[in-house]
Amino acid sequence: MGTPHIRGAARAALTAFASLSLISGALIAVGAPQAAADPPAPQPQSHSVTNPYSPAYQHPYRHGAVPTIPQNAAMKTWAATQASPHVATGPQTLSYGGGIDGIGVTSGHSKVYLVFYGTQWGTQSTDANGNAKFSGDANNAAPAAQQMFKGIGTNNELWSADLTQWCDGPNVATGATSCPSNANFIPYQSGGVLAGVWYDNAAASPGTASGHQLGQEAVNAAAHFGNTTAAANRDAYYVILSPHGTNPDSYQNQYCAWHDYNGDTTLTGGAVNSPYGDIAFSNQPYNIDSGAGCGVGFVNSPGTLDGWTMTLGHEWQETMSDQNPAGGWTNKTGSSYNGQENSDECAWLNPGTTGGAANINLGTGTFAEQASWSNDTNSCAISHPIVGGPTGNTVTVTNPGSQSSVVNTAVTLQMRATDSASGQTLTYAATGLPAGLTISSTTGLISGTPTTTGSSTVTVTAQDTTSAVGSTSFSWTVSTSQGGGAITNGGFETGNLSSWTTSGSTAAGTAAAHSGSYGAMVGSANPSGTSSITQSFTAPTGSTKVSFWYNLTCPDTLTYDWATATLKDNTSNTTQTVLAKTCTNGAGWKNVTGTLTAGHSYTLTLTSKDDNYAGDATYTYYDDVAVS
């Protein structure tokens, strides 16, 4: 999802909000009961959306934005009065957008990270299921979100199996309405998708966080979880959960949730820089605050969490089928469904109707969910067979992350994979391995002695006896030495900052060490202003990256204090931000990498910025700066 989706088919009890007006380009629900609201007068616009109640009408479209129930009802009422174009595949058929940065769908096993954003969540504790719970969450929405994502792909549920018809990859043509057999299909997400939980209580969540701030929080989360490469974030999804009483991206009365990625320039406040590749994320307000307009009581009674789990499921399914909007599967027919994603087309269909919302039984509990559009059945599907054969087996290969090794030095790497079916034998294969390395087809062990320097992309596949296949890709760099070759005193083991140019408050110390005895402290435990250490170097032959570790103490907010790092290519006169402005507290050591071109001259600057305000000094430890 990309733009705010307003959820929809209103029941009779919800018609009181049918009157809407357009205020500053945003759709706001207002007014008293009205049988049929007159639409606003059409205004000139630069795109093809003509439904005046659509989130895309005269408004930057956040993909997958779930409209409020009354907003969705108004959209459908207006659309019913319009003539539909004659389209061979039907007005609701989705087509492939060609991918953005090579990404169309989540074609691996989804990794969902829940980010509880801001101190308003209250005091954290643990429930009987091992879930994080919070004193500021009277409705226990946080544990419900964790249980739901733990349960996807368990108890033989087929609600999420609708996703297995969608695909991406070089064999899928832009505009395709179905997937060829040699496409990269979304696998059935067996065994749950929850990958991590973070309570970011470094500061209060903004009362009305912008899209940019939400995206920046997602980038911060990627750093927190150690997902600091594009490969690590290829199948990752960060749910930014705002606390009770806040109004992120001014959602109230407009929509209930949306999803996007950091590179979307229509985010309020602009796109977000990421040094870690593309970051898929969602804006999940505490939409229980919006009551029936965002689905409280939509399936159950009292159903306090109905809309909460439905919007969580809606946005996750849309991220899976359209990870970098709108490069995945969206509606492009020019009909009233123009721009919508798979879950948008089935938003707020009443329980008991075809494709209506329903309770889904997962291995971790029962949750209200909505249907999603299915091209292969031409309908909204609350349940769908697993695509890919009668067994529907799913093989998942664990990504080991980027690898580095030294030429003419023996290396081993144990690859691991799991199968959704028991009793299966896996056969491994690999492409792109550095010269001198091989993989065991029976054990998945990569071993050997690399004979040539350079970098390559390695893809490892595992296939079971039913021909179900899983794969993962990662980078592997073979260099002449294990880092440090172009950086002098990168581990600070001299006990000082020799070979570094310093500014502000800086020192080498034992408390700052990530490894060894010493590290660099940039900034001070007392208010110190902006401090930095800088070193210039030339990237040696065979090198492709510079890396370092940092440990940030930032008790303030990103508005005032942060850590950041830049890498200037002096040869091409370009600069990359390898560590975006980050403010976290107590997150521990995190690794960062930047790309190099062998033979070029570079200047690396490691910075810690403090606003000199008494009582909340910000400082950063840096260590193990290396080139490989």
SS (H, E, C) 82-147: CCCCCCCCCCCCCEECCCECCECCCCCCCEEEEEEECHHHCCEEECCCCCEEECCCCCCHHHHHHH
User: Residues 441, 443, 446, 449: what is their CA dihedral angle, to the nearest 10 degrees?
Assistant: -90
> Does a structural domain hold residue 494?
no
Q: Which of 347, 381, 415 is the last residue of a domain?
A: 381
The pLDDT value recorded for residue 62 is: 56
599: amino acid identity, one letter: G
Asked if residue 400 and residue 376 are part of one domain, the reply reads no
Is the pLDDT confidence value at 86 over 60? no
> Does a structural domain hold residue 522?
yes
> Does a structural domain hold residue 325?
yes
Asked if residue 359 and residue 442 are part of one domain, the reply reads no
pLDDT band at 22 (very low <50, low <70, confident <90, very high): very low
For residue 491 the two structure tokens come to 């581990």
For residue 51 the two structure tokens come to 């439904």
Asked if residue 19 and residue 59 are part of one domain, the reply reads yes
Asked if residue 457 and residue 589 are part of one domain, the reply reads no
Burial class from Cβ neighbours inside 10 Å (0-12, 13-18, 19+) for residue 12 reads exposed
Handedness of CA 50, 52, 53, 54 (dihedral sign): positive
Burial class from Cβ neighbours inside 10 Å (0-12, 13-18, 19+) for residue 541 reads exposed
Number of domains into which the chain is organized: 4
Asked if residue 431 and residue 552 are part of one domain, the reply reads no
Ranges 9-23, 43-57, 448-462: which has the least confidence: 9-23
Asked if residue 181 and residue 303 are part of one domain, the reply reads yes
The pLDDT value recorded for residue 42 is: 30
For the chain, percent of residues with pLDDT exceeding 90: 55
Q: What is the chain's alpha carbon radius of gyration, rounded to the nearest angstrom? A: 25
Q: Which of 479, 511, 544 is the last residue of a domain?
A: 479
E strands, 480-518, are: 501-503, 506-509
> Does a structural domain hold residue 441?
yes
Burial class from Cβ neighbours inside 10 Å (0-12, 13-18, 19+) for residue 180 reads exposed
Helices (H), 203-345: 211-224, 306-321
Instruction: Quote the CA–CA distance of 294 and 289 in Å, as a whole number.
Output: 9
The SS3 call for residue 606 is strand
For residue 203 the two structure tokens come to 């500061």
Ranges 140-154, 276-290, 300-314, 387-401: which has the least confidence: 387-401
Is residue 428 within a helix (H) or strand (E), and if so which, with residue range?
A: strand 427-431
Q: CA dist 260 to 163, 211, 280, 333, 557, Å?
A: 18, 9, 6, 21, 23
CB 161 within 8 A of CB 187: no
- Where does residue 483 fall: left (phi above 0), alpha (psi -120 to 50 degrees), or beta otherwise? left
Mean local confidence (pLDDT), 167-183: 93
For 580-590, letters b (16+ CB in 10 Å) and e give bbbbbeebebb
Q: CA dist 234 to 227, 280, 319, 465, 598, Å?
A: 10, 9, 12, 27, 26
CB 92 within 8 A of CB 381: no
Pairing type for strands 236-241 and 111-117 reads: parallel
Instruction: Quote the CA–CA distance of 146 and 131 in Å, as a whole number.
Output: 7
> Does a structural domain hold residue 354?
yes
Mean residue pLDDT across the chain: 83
pLDDT digits (tens, 9 = 90+) for 126-164: 888 888 999 999 999 999 999 999 999 888 899 999 999
Bridge partner residues of 111 (DSSP): 236
Asked if residue 296 and residue 183 are part of one domain, the reply reads yes
> Does a structural domain hold residue 355?
yes
Ranges 414-418, 484-488, 544-548, 622-626: which has the least confidence: 484-488
Is the pLDDT confidence value at 21 over 90? no
For residue 317 the two structure tokens come to 């399914």
Query: Tokens 């931000």 appear where?
Result: 577
What is the extent of the structural domain holding 329? Answer: 105-381
Asked if residue 538 and residue 513 are part of one domain, the reply reads yes
Bridge partner residues of 425 (DSSP): none
The pLDDT value recorded for residue 12 is: 25
Q: CA dist 175 to 15, 97, 185, 326, Å?
A: 37, 6, 16, 12
Instruction: Quote the CA–CA distance of 144 and 309 in Å, as a whole number.
Output: 8
Asked if residue 328 and residue 403 are part of one domain, the reply reads no
Query: Tokens 């101190």 appear where?
Result: 119
pLDDT band at 407 (very low <50, low <70, confident <90, very high): confident
Q: What is the CATH number of the domain that holds 580?
A: 2.60.120.260
Is residue 151 within a helix (H) or strand (E), and if so which, with residue range?
A: helix 141-151
Q: Which of 65, 80, 95 is the last residue of a domain?
A: 80
Is the pLDDT confidence value at 32 over 50? no
Asked if residue 135 and residue 61 are part of one domain, the reply reads no
> Does a structural domain hold residue 163?
yes
Is the pLDDT confidence value at 67 over 60? yes
Asked if residue 355 and residue 215 are part of one domain, the reply reads yes
360: amino acid identity, one letter: I
Instruction: Quote the CA–CA distance of 191 and 150 in Å, as a whole number.
Output: 7
Q: What is the CATH number of the domain that holds 446?
A: 2.60.40.10
Mean local confidence (pLDDT), 436-442: 93
Instruction: Quote the CA–CA distance of 237 and 152 in Å, as a whole number.
Output: 14
Task: Indicate the length of the chain as a whole number.
Answer: 628
Query: Tokens 């974030």 appear where?
Result: 233
> Does a structural domain hold residue 26?
yes
Asked if residue 315 and residue 174 are part of one domain, the reply reads yes
Helices (H), 240-305: none
